[in-house]
Amino acid sequence: MKSKKHGKNTSRVEVSHISVHGLWLLIKEKEYFLPFAEFPWFKKAAVEDIYKVKFLHAHHLYWPALDIDLELESLENLEKYPLKQVA
């Protein structure tokens, strides 16, 4: 008996893990780590709200419940986009 093949994954973005240090996103088969030190908006967010991320226009991430927008380019080149909040 053979198992049936899994269906195609229709989600282009997935929160693959959340830890005390940050969260991991899987986007188009590439993984990104968003440390809370660099992305403090997620640190106190509800897990449910973090998981509700949308991938728009193939380059834009949006968390509606948190009102957070990030460009994929900023995750790929973090040094060019300092995202820390200024005290």
Judging by beta carbons within 10 Å of its beta carbon (0-12, 13-18, 19+), is residue 46 exposed, middle or buried? exposed
DSSP 35: E
What dotted CATH number matches 13-80?
A: 3.30.2020
Q: How many helices (H) and strands (E) does the chain have?
A: 2, 6
Angle at 11 between CA 19 and CA 23, to 5 degrees: 15
Low-confidence ranges of the chain (pLDDT < 50): 6-9
pTM beyond 0.95: no
Count of CB atoms situated within 10 Å of the CB of 78: 15
Q: Are strands 60-63 and 54-56 parallel, antiparallel or unpaired?
A: antiparallel
Query: Which sequence spans correspond to the domains of the chain?
Result: 13-80
**Residue-level pLDDT at 9:** 45
Residue entry with tokens 């060019």: 80
